[in-house]
Structure 1
């Protein structure tokens, strides 16, 4: 389904301001949007570990819609007994000045906003969305001076950002896997001095490290989604910090191997490397999550191995 509706040409069309309605209709008809909604509310009641596989596929294809965000929002709304709107829903954590960058804000119909421990579902237009100025970026800068309190409900104990973080880690893992494949294919096709550049030992080393980073991001995202919904703070911090660190190196390696052609608008490489950088920063960079994880570790009186076992591999 994703191969059909999210081919690179379709992704570019949405980034340039084209309608995503047909693409969204296919996603909605698939039933995946209610995968995390409890069975008692009409959903599939699937665990995060299953959603992780789908989220990675979204990253592998640079799907230009907040599919994972909508899955999370619908699950939280259903659990709170709130009505679930049609259309794509983005996630946002309001800053102190109520101004924040909302991933996929340009194509969302609604935004689930966390503010002072409460969740508010608002129309995307209410945030006066503005483009970030980055070419092709589907994020939007939004601001809410006041949020409606009538239908607000409690945010998860670990906050909305922890859920968004494990989603970003999965998206990074999927895009990273795609970039490894693209880079290896290009290195085997590009002929220089009479042989494929992939036969050069220096490039082989670069691609080997790139593949290691992609595997690290994948394992970290699986750890982040391996527990309950919502994830623990330690699981979210581990997933996002490891995936975020890998994202920067993978993007740099992909461009190093591709050379000048990789930065051209016509080449598909930039569809994925741009997203790696955006997802790395969204919902907390690795430094933000490393600080959160460090505080958790320092607050524990157990050894590091026991801490990791308890926090990342709960019974």
Structure 2
């Protein structure tokens, strides 16, 4: 199978949208350009793009610290589609392992740390063998955030009307992988964005009569960060390509996604450290835009599974493959 190539014009469009749009009008701009539901089928209200198209846009979104639930909307649409459910227009969010009590078309329960819960048009939740589409407007909302100040809200419904359907077999495992892949791509972009800011600052900030970027110690640190960005980006892109080639349920895809989440999480730690060291005290201030990428690196590395969770998954896959199956699994 030949894996398609992403159109560079799409990447350029995404970069320009994230650079020019403000937080207040970004979602409207994403909808107007067809990026909001890029990989959703056209008959479901999307643009009909590929997973690789979405992957490229998520990297750009991470690099720009875009204030929009792009990954969450895609995952919500995909999850609803697996159960034959429709979702409303607008930004969406989703929840896995949802502890909900479902009685026909009535739902009760609490979902914690829902991304963008307060502003979503709908929440698509998977739990108890059901896929449920819920209206956040009918929930009691306790607002919360992650360290990057992105909404992570607690939503509680009490006998609320909902659209409910049976979840397909394997949906929980599949969407845990899809969520981890999306988070890895966002992490890869955020790491690139933090490095870009650090390199730019090192070329502008002067000390002892020359830019600090000319000092060997700074160059070594930036080179280390660049290597981490390259490694994390390669792991995330490779995982997306393996998923396209083999399917999300293939063992090779599971291994690739797990490796990507671990590698981008490791890169997040190192790149954020170097970026703040290069910026010095100014980089730790709330007013400096470096925090937009580094706080996302710190937050996202622990979301949709930690490094430890996915490293354990790699170990489980290795043991399951056995001595004869490990090399074919890794090289496939």
Quickly name the TM-score band, shorter chain normalised.
0.7 to 0.9
TM-superposed deviation, 1:218: 0.7
Task: Give the direction of change, closer, same or farther, for the CA distance of 1:76–1:9 in structure 2 (3 Å limit).
Answer: closer
Residues 144-183 of structure 1 mapped to structure 2, 5 A cutoff:
144=156, 151-154=164-167, 156=171, 158-183=173-198
Task: Give the direction of change, closer, same or farther, for the CA distance of 1:233–1:127 in structure 2 (3 Å limit).
Answer: farther
TM-superposed deviation, 1:202: 1.5
Q: Which shifted more, 89-98 or 142-151? A: 142-151
Q: Which residue of 2 aligns with 1:278?
A: 299
1:85 aligned residue (88, 92, 97)? 88
Task: Give the direction of change, closer, same or farther, for the CA distance of 1:9–1:85 in structure 2 (3 Å limit).
Answer: closer
Q: Distance in 2 between matches of 1:112 and 1:149?
A: 10
Q: Distance in 2 between matches of 1:219 and 1:108?
A: 32
Are 1:158 and 1:233, in contact at CA under 8 Å, matched by a contact in 2?
no
1:69 aligned residue (68, 72, 81)? 72
CA deviation vs aligned residue, 1:222-241 (integer Å, no higher than 9, x gap): 12211236464323212211
TM-superposed deviation, 1:41: 4.7
Q: Would you say 1:26 and 2:29 are equivalent positions? A: yes
Task: Give the direction of change, closer, same or farther, for the CA distance of 1:251–1:46 in structure 2 (3 Å limit).
Answer: same
Q: Would you say 1:107 and 2:119 are equivalent positions? A: yes
TM-superposed deviation, 1:197: 1.2
Alignment coverage as a number of residue pairs:
301
Task: Give the direction of change, closer, same or farther, for the CA distance of 1:106–1:277 in structure 2 (3 Å limit).
Answer: farther
Structure 2, unmatched stretches of 5+, are 1-12, 100-108
Residues 1-315 of structure 1 mapped to structure 2, 5 A cutoff:
6-7=18-19, 10-11=22-23, 20=24, 22-38=25-41, 41=44, 43-94=46-97, 99-126=111-138, 128-132=140-144, 137-144=149-156, 151-154=164-167, 156=171, 158-226=173-241, 227-228=243-244, 230=248, 232-301=253-322, 302-309=324-331, 313=332
Q: Distance in 2 between matches of 1:30 and 1:194?
A: 46
TM-superposed deviation, 1:9: 9.1
Q: Distance in 1 between matches of 2:132 and 2:221?
A: 45
Task: Give the direction of change, closer, same or farther, for the CA distance of 1:193–1:7 in structure 2 (3 Å limit).
Answer: same
Are 2:110 and 2:157, in contact at CA under 8 Å, matched by a contact in 1?
yes
Q: Distance in 2 between matches of 1:38 and 1:74?
A: 9
CA deviation vs aligned residue, 1:148-183 (integer Å, no higher than 9, x gap): 775234252623221111111111111111111111
Are 1:38 and 1:79, in contact at CA under 8 Å, matched by a contact in 2?
no
Q: Distance in 1 between matches of 2:19 and 2:133?
A: 31
Secondary structure of 1:129's counterpart equals strand
Q: Which residue of 2 aligns with 1:17?
A: none
Q: Distance in 1 between matches of 2:284 and 2:21?
A: 17
Q: Which has the higher strand share?
A: 2
Are 1:64 and 1:104, in contact at CA under 8 Å, matched by a contact in 2?
no
TM-superposed deviation, 1:75: 3.2
Q: Which shifted more, 54-63 or 88-97? A: 88-97
Are 1:224 and 1:236, in contact at CA under 8 Å, matched by a contact in 2?
yes
Q: Distance in 2 between matches of 1:83 and 1:159?
A: 20
TM-score, normalization: structure 2?
0.80
CA deviation vs aligned residue, 1:270-310 (integer Å, no higher than 9, x gap): 0111111111111111101111121111111235332212x
Are 1:127 and 1:144, in contact at CA under 8 Å, matched by a contact in 2?
yes
Q: Distance in 2 between matches of 1:76 and 1:36?
A: 13
Q: Distance in 1 between matches of 2:192 and 2:315?
A: 28
Secondary structure of 1:300's counterpart equals helix
